Amino acid sequence: MSLSPTLQLAVDLIERRSVTPEDEGCQALMMQRLRAIGFHCEALRFGEVDNFWAVRGDSGPLLCFAGHTDVVPTGPEENWQTPPFAPQISDGMLRGRGAADMKGSLAAMVTACERFVAEHPDHQGRIAFLITSDEEGPAKNGTAKVVEWLEAQNEKITWCVVGEPSSTTEVGDVIKNGRRGSLGAILKVAGVQGHVAYPHLAANPIHLAAPALAELAAERWDEGNDFFPATSFQISNINGGTGATNVIPGELEVVFNFRFSTELSAEILQQRSEAILDKHGLDYQLEWNLSGQPFLTAEGPLVEAAQKAIRQVTGRDTVLSTAGGTSDGRFIAPTGAQVVELGPVNATIHKVDECVKADDLNLLSDMYQAMMVELLAR
């Protein structure tokens, strides 16, 4: 079967077993294609992570395509209907690890640029790619480090399209024009270990912390706004005890997370949380980890270009959303860039038998091309 350029490139990328932080030649393949159409490519390795920055053009506004070549582990491969790194197209579906998240998007970006440059070799502004192999992992030596490198050179991204799988049921039905912030914490509450028959000689940290945890869970942190739901607080892990039924534990560890809107800052959440813990007189230690600030691209040329492109290619209007987890857009938006996420349907991401409609990747490539026409064509 003859495949479209987009599908063929997607297959070539999926075949590479690029589980975080490995890249396995995905980026070299992309850079080869981009150099052939006039991009200057620079490989950037930080720690054990491969990244690259590619740019075409000398001046003017910069449209950047951002994404990642790494994928999550497959789990037991015998549970897959088809081998995860031997992509296949059957019943109109492209199957393989990374088909949706996000090698399909990467292929669509490259082929969209190839067609756009062929039709508009003297386009306005600049086109860039910011690609990492560290999005699904710690995300310490990937996009965040590339952005630091760009900032040191005073290189500013005007518009950024992240290829995360944003769609819900049909490609282009949803674009993400922002994300909530993510603030995690590890809380350790000290007690005094002892025998359960002699509680007066011990101090149970579970009992001591329970009222404070209940208050944190019941707190109304904000009301959200037109673009974000109210901030949420969730406890994800509680650990205490020795495993014995007759021992009062000496320490309790609680892991929790805030997903927060632009109505609050991480500093305010920390202050309010610690005030509640202090009120209950706990002997505690608290380790905070800010994974990303909330960001929002409410309106402007990039959102309008995405909406117009989706309508032009599919005939449908798109919904703007800030739902879901974090993405690497959280590292790019603070530089002043407008950021949207536009990618395939996310129904099977990180699952066994990950797949996308094959035709959706061709449509996605057309959408990316139409956005370039809107923003950069002379």
The Cα 365–Cα 347 span in angstroms is 19
Hey, CA dihedral for 297, 301, 304, 306, is it positive or negative? negative
Query: What is the number of helices (H) and of strands (E) in the chain?
Result: 9, 19
Return per-residue pLDDT of the chain as tens, 378 residues.
689 999 999 999 999 999 999 999 999 999 999 999 999 999 999 999 999 999 999 999 999 999 999 999 999 999 999 999 999 999 999 999 999 999 999 999 999 999 999 999 999 999 999 999 999 988 899 999 999 999 999 999 999 999 999 999 999 999 999 999 999 999 999 999 999 999 999 999 999 999 999 999 999 999 999 899 999 999 999 999 999 999 999 999 999 999 999 899 999 999 999 999 999 999 999 999 998 889 999 889 999 999 999 999 999 999 999 988 788 999 999 999 999 999 999 999 999 999 999 999 999 999 999 999 999 997
Which one from 24, 135, 251, 341 is the annotated catalytic residue? 135
Q: How far is CA 354 from CA 16, 95, 240, in A?
A: 15, 6, 37
> Which strands sit side by side in the sheet containing 355-357, from one edge to the other?
88-90, 93-95, 355-357
Q: What is the DSSP letter of 345?
A: B
Indicate the SS3 state at residue 167. Answer: strand
Within the chain, what is the greatest distance between any pair of CA atoms?
Answer: 82
Burial class for 91, CB neighbours closer than 10 Å (0-12, 13-18, 19+): exposed
According to DSSP, the β-strands at 181-190 and 251-260 are antiparallel
Strands 338-341 and 159-162, sheet pairing: parallel
Residue 340 phi/psi, 5° resolution? -135, 155
Strand 232-240 relative to strand 93-95: parallel, antiparallel, unpaired? unpaired
335 secondary structure, DSSP code? G
Q: Which of 23, 24, 70, 101 is catalytic?
A: 70
Q: pTM for the complete prediction?
A: 0.88
Residue 101 is among the residues annotated as catalytic for this protein: no
| 338 φ/ψ angles, rounded to the nearest 5 degrees | -80, 135
Angstrom distance (rounded) from CA 172 to CA 312:
11
For residue 330, give the DSSP letter: H
pLDDT value, residue 292: 85
* Nearest residue to 96 (alpha-carbon basis) of 356, 345, 364: 356
- DSSP strands (E only) in the chain: 40-46, 49-56, 62-68, 88-90, 93-95, 126-132, 159-162, 174-176, 178-179, 181-190, 194-195, 232-240, 247-248, 251-260, 284-292, 295-296, 319-321, 338-341, 355-357
Inter-CA distances, 149 with 2, 68, 142, 152, 156, Å = 41, 17, 11, 5, 11
Task: Give the distance, in angstroms, between the CA of residue 300 and the centroid of all CA atoms in the same chain.
Answer: 22
